[in-house]
């Protein structure tokens, strides 16, 4: 077993354990914390695959920003009584199990039947690792320059929209 595969199994175990613990927790705050653990594990897997940029983004954006925001919302809304929400709505529970099973089946299909040999992350012809900061920056600022700039406009629209709906007092 190479070091890479040892690391892979290490991070993968963390990710899977975090995921399982997250969905089985009754307390939403605990669930969120285990989701952060799951994200950290997935970020480790990205690192093993030489996708440094995605690994860092995973930590900073998902584990850092979004989940902290989530925690704040849960704590501010005091969702203590939320513990039994899923118990009271069997429909939601069934639906989530069905969706999870479908996505699981689809991923299993991809891994074992559709593309069992596409697992490599390095472009053999050029020797470029597509997950590095350099490779991503190059693609983003050359081929995908237009969508990249357009995302700026999307964020402007989102900001304006959030302001117009969310601002407490509008001087009109």
Partner 1 sequence: MEFTLTDLTHLLPIVIVAASVLVAMTIDMFTKEADKTLGWFTALSLFAAAYVSLFFVDKTGVHLSGVVASGGATNILHFVFTFGAGVVALISMEYAKKTEMRVGEYYVLVLSSVLGMMLIAAAKDLAVIFVGLEQMSISFYALAGIRRKRDKSVEASLKYFLLGAFATGFVVYGMALIYGSSGTMALDTIRYAFPDLVSQPLFVLGLALFVIGFAFKIAAVPFHMWAPDVYQGSPTPVAGLMSTVGKAAAFAALLLIFRPVFDGAENALFPFLAIVATLSMLYGAIVAIAQDDLKRMLAYSSVAHAGYMLIGFASGEATGAAGVIYYLVAYAFMNLGAFGIIAMIESAEETNLKVQDYAGLGTRAPALAALLSLFMFALSGIPPLAGFFGKYYVFIAAVEGGATWLALVGVASSAISVYFYLRVVVVMYFGKSENRMEYSVSNVSLLGVTISAMLVILLGVLPGSIIKLIESFVR
Binding footprint of partner 1 on the chain (CB under 8 A) = 106, 109-110, 114-115, 142-147, 150-151, 153-154, 156-158, 160-165, 170, 172
Rg (CA), the chain: 20
Cβ closest to partner 1, residue 9 vs residue 141? 141
Q: What is the DSSP letter of 47?
A: H
Q: How far apart are CA 17 and CA 1, in angstroms?
A: 22
Q: Per the structure block, which two tokens stand in for 155?
A: 């964020």
For residue 61, the minimal CB distance to partner 1 (Å) is: 16
- Closest CB to partner 1 among residues 114, 133: 114
Q: Report the phi/psi class of residue 50: left, alpha or beta, with left for phi > 0 and alpha for psi in -120 to 50.
A: left
Between residues 4 and 145, which has the closer beta carbon with respect to partner 1?
A: 145
Distance CA(120)–CA(126), nearest Å, equals: 13
Question: Would you say 42 and 22 are in contact if contact means Cβ atoms under 8 Å apart?
Answer: no
List the end-to-end C-alpha distance of the chain, in Å, as a whole number: 68
Least separation in angstroms between CB 132 and partner 1: 19
Q: Are 71 and 48 in contact (CB under 8 A)?
A: no
Q: Toward partner 1, which CB reaches closer, 3 or 91?
A: 91
Minimal distance, residue 79 CB to partner 1, in Å = 19
CB of residue 158 vs partner 1: minimum separation in angstroms? 5
Nearest alpha-carbon partner for 148 in 135, 136, 132, 134: 136
User: To the nearest whole angstrom, how small is the minimum distance from the Cβ of residue 152 to partner 1?
Assistant: 10
Select 133 or 157, whichever has its Cβ closest to partner 1.
Answer: 157
């Amino acid at each position: 077993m190479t070091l890479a595969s040892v690391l892979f199994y290490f991070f993968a175990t963390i990710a899977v354990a975090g995921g399982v613990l997250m969905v089985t927790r009754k307390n939403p705050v605990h669930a969120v914390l285990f989701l952060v653990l799951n994200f950290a594990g997935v970020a480790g897997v990205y690192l093993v695959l030489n996708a440094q940029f995605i690994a860092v983004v995973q930590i900073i954006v998902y584990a850092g920003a979004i989940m902290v925001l989530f925690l704040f919302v849960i704590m501010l809304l005091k969702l203590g009584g939320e513990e039994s929400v899923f118990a009271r709505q069997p429909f939601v529970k069934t639906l989530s199990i069905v969706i999870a099973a479908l996505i699981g089946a689809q991923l299993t299909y991809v891994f074992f039947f559709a593309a069992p040999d596409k697992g490599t992350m390095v472009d053999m012809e050029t020797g470029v690792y597509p997950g590095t900061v350099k490779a991503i920056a190059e693609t983003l600022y050359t081929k995908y320059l237009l969508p990249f700039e357009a995302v700026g406009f999307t964020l402007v629209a989102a900001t304006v929209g959030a302001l117009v709906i969310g601002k407490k007092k509008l001087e009109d």
